[in-house]
Chain A
Amino acid sequence: MQVKFKFVAYDESFDKFEQDDNEYLLELDDEQIETYNLYKDVDLHLYNWFQESEFFLDWIKEEVYPDSIGKKIAIAEINDIIYLRFFFFKVTSGDVHYEYFKKLFNLYHESDWQDREEFGEDILELLKPKRQELIIEIKEDVVEDDESELNKNTLEVSE
């Protein structure tokens, strides 16, 4: 099974996201397909699973953004599940996004009319830390670093 991904790049200096219009395909093995099917109905669970999976991070480093250590990205789309609202929500965004974030952040206003300015600002405030959680930093392989450090120490001892 192939899963289609789209990404956004995070510009830390401007705290902004930029779309990468390319699509990237990742082939899942049987075990991964099983997990994918388990998480696919809850968008953030699916996101977190990929974000924390070694095979996914390796794939990004090796095939999606090779030679880009230090680059920060976020997933914009996994098949038909779209995460763009997390990165591009505005006070003027449509009701569907308001409803989504109200539910996600457990926001409740007693007033039944959506006060967009107040509500929108609340959502943006809550989105700041949430976005940081979603950002994936492309890092060097930590295990390799440890091993090389270990080897270095061993060499030093040998000397």
Chain B
Amino acid sequence: MDHKYINNMLAEMDKDLASKGLSRRDAMKLAGISGASLLMGGATSAEASTEEVVASSDAKGKIVIVGGGLAGISTAARLTLNLKNHDITIIEPEAKSVSYQPGQTLVAAGIWDADDISYNRDDFVPDGVKVIEDKVIDFQPNKNEVTTAKGQVVSYDYLIVATGLQLDFERIKGLEYAGRAYSSGDNTKLLNALGESGICSLYTAEGATKTWELMQKSIEQAKSGKKTKFVFTHPSTPIKCGGAPKKIIYLANSRLKDAGARENAEIVFYPNGGAMFGVPEYHDAILGQFKRENFKWHYRHNLIEVEPENKIAVFDAKWQEKGEWDPVLKEFEVIAKHEKKRVPYDFLHITPPQLAPREVRESDLGSAKGWVPVNKETLQHVKYDNIYAIGDIAQVPMGKTGGSVRKQYKVLVDNLIAQMEGKPLPSKYAGYTVCPLITSIGTVMLAEFDWTVKPTPSFPLDPTVERWVFWLMKVYALKPMTMYGMLSGRA
């Protein structure tokens, strides 16, 4: 744990608290949580503190981890803590593969800088873990080998797939030149394709910075008295951080209000889905917030095309109509209908469609939909016993958040070590995920849930209420917990 960083973070938090006339102790009392859990980012307060782990397993085997992002490196770190004689290799082409992606919404709203979320991979690679700076382009699970772009064949006894996912901008007509991007790394090509025509996306670190620049321009336009239309999208594919498409709406709204420009702004959300959130309690809460803040929304709209020169977004709008009577099932058929809808915009925030990287999707590892099919509880591949997947690439319901990875990597390490020792897999992932849904600059609704699709709050507080103390946690505590707790394999 970096104590200097933590002290700086605490000093910043104290300043923020003092401006509200509160001490840190008062804030903790207000939250009803312990000091340790607030300090450490108590998304799960019972486990908030870092663990002291003593290497206890003599198990041997060559472990290869494909992907050196948050999931891959956290898993490597925890394995090194548990295995006395470890043989671990990470294959990752990007030097800046480690980023604090939950902070991209804060960068996009000018609260943080891009430097606050981007890190060098090698600063987090655990001692004794080898890194191959290359990209895996072929998986051969029947031979226990992977092949890299430079032609290196790497064999393994156990494989962990942690490649993350790709942002499929090229699927949107008009943005074909943007290609497919990862959240980290050089995304100049994507930014060039998005251009200067009012289109942005916070789903890359550079894109988050660009979003803030564009947001300021659009707010200035609204402030000048010109009616300004802010359009936000949510695609038809699974996405990482399902809350982000809404967080950026709330933050733009907050910035518009701060600038005294809200009355000239129209804020409209076009989600592909038919609800604001998969968990009914949070859906209801968000809907209430949308009404309160005078946002508009149109369900079942999927962005399929942009015309940057005309500032038009084209959506595939879907609805259903009653069909013919089915005499066997004794009901009317349901006929799906759709049509293109053209929507003018001044500011268009795109949450891009997302998909598994080609090399995974087209390999024997991937499922029909591209994601790596794993037992959703053990994270072990459904076909290859010596392969596991974690994070965005794993075909696990609702699992594409850093909060999910924080639960998954411990389960994966427990199970892998047990397998190496010839024991049954002991650990199960229960689907926990957390989405600190920023509802304004200064408030967060901490949406925690699992596969029961019910709120699973870690704190003795109404989970559907927006709270300032969770804002403090989001802005000050979760990052150090991730960067210095998770990435060292201890939190």
Q: Which A residues fall within an 8 A CB radius of B?
A: 19, 84-85, 88-90, 92-97, 108-117
Task: Return the chain B residue nearest A115 by Cβ.
Answer: B236
Flag if B329 contacts A88 (CB, 8 Å). Answer: yes
- Interface residues of chain B: helix, strand, loop or mixed (majority): loop
The residue of chain B having its C-beta at the shortest distance from the C-beta of A114 within the complex is B274
Give Cα distance in the complex from A111 to B239, angstroms: 9
Say yes or no: is B333 at the interface (Cβ < 8 Å to chain A).
Answer: yes
Q: Which 8 A-B pairs have the closest CB atoms?
A: A110-B238, A112-B273, A92-B333, A113-B274, A108-B397, A113-B273, A88-B328, A116-B336
Which of these, A84, A112, A116, A117, contacts B329 with CB under 8 Å?
A: A84
Q: Identify which of A84, A94, A95, A113 contacts B328 (C-beta below 8 A).
A: A84
A111 pairs with B273, CB closer than 8 A:
yes
Task: Give the chain A neighbours of B242 by CB distance below 8 A.
Answer: 110
Closest residue of B by beta carbon distance from A89 = B329
Q: What is the minimal beta-carbon distance from A86 to any residue of chain B, in angstroms?
A: 11
Q: Is the interface of A mostly helix, strand, loop or mixed?
A: loop
Question: Smallest Cβ distance from A129 to chain B, in angstroms?
Answer: 15
A103 CB, nearest partner CB in chain B, Å? 12
Bound-complex Cα distance A85 to B329 (A): 7
Q: Which residues of B contact A112 (CB under 8 A)?
A: 273-275, 277-278
- Minimum C-beta distance from A25 to chain B (A): 22
CA A112 – CA B334 in complex, angstroms?
Answer: 18
Q: Report A-chain residues with C-beta under 8 Å of the C-beta of B323.
A: 92
User: In the complex, are the beta carbons of B273 and A116 less than 8 A apart?
Assistant: no
Any A CB within 8 A of the CB of B26: no
Listed in ascending order, the chain B residues whose CB lies under 8 Å from chain A are 236-239, 242, 271-275, 277-278, 299-300, 318, 320, 323, 326, 328-329, 331-336, 397-398, 400
Closest beta carbon of chain A to B391's beta carbon, Å: 14
- Taken together as a complex, chains A and B put the C-alpha atoms of A88 and B329 apart, in Å, by 7
Complex partner residue of B334 from A108, A113, A115, A116, CB under 8 angstroms:
A116
Q: How far is the CB of B416 from chain A (nearest CB, A)?
A: 24
Whether A92 pairs with B334 at a CB distance below 8 angstroms is yes
B334 touches A117 (CB 8 A): no
8 further contact pairs, Cβ within 8 A, besides A88-B326, A92-B336, A93-B329: A94-B333, A97-B329, A110-B400, A111-B272, A112-B274, A113-B271, A113-B318, A116-B336
Residues of A within 8 A of B318 (CB): 113
Q: Which residue of B lies closest to A17 (CB)?
A: B328
Which of A19, A94, A111, A116 has a CB less than 8 Å from the CB of B331? A94
Enumerate chain B residues within 8 angstroms of A84, measured Cβ to Cβ.
Answer: 328-329
Q: Measured between alpha carbons, how far is A117 from B338 in the docked complex, in Å?
A: 12
Q: Which among B300, B331, B397 is the interface contact of A113 at CB below 8 angstroms?
A: B300
Query: What B residues does A111 contact at CB under 8 A?
Result: 236-238, 272-273
Q: What residues on A are CB-neighbors of B278 within 8 Å?
A: 112
Per the bound structure, the CA–CA distance linking A88 and B326 in Å amounts to: 10
The answer to whether residues A94 and B336 also contact, given A110-B398, A111-B273 and a CB cut-off of 8 A, is no
Complex Cα–Cα for A131 and B480 (A): 53
Minimal Cβ-Cβ distance residue in B for A85: B329
Q: Are A113 and B329 in contact (CB under 8 A)?
A: no
Cα–Cα, bound, A109→B277 (Å): 13
> What is the chain A residue whose CB lies nearest that of B397?
A108
Q: Which A residues touch B274, using CB under 8 A?
A: 112-114
The reply to whether A110 and B328 contact each other, CB–CB distance below 8 Å, is: no
* Shortest Cβ distance from residue B55 to the other chain A in the assembled complex, whole angstroms: 37
A93 x B273 contact (CB < 8 A): no
Distance in angstroms between the alpha carbons of A27 and B449 in the assembled complex: 48
9 contacts between A and B (CB under 8 A): A19-B328, A94-B329, A94-B331, A109-B238, A110-B242, A112-B274, A113-B271, A115-B236, A116-B334
The answer to whether A90 and B272 touch across the interface, beta carbons within 8 angstroms, is no
Q: Which residues of chain B come closer than 8 Å to A92, judged between CB atoms? A: 323, 326, 333-336
Residues of B within 8 A of A110 (CB): 237-239, 242, 397-398, 400
Task: List the B residue with the shortest CB-CB distance to A88.
Answer: B328
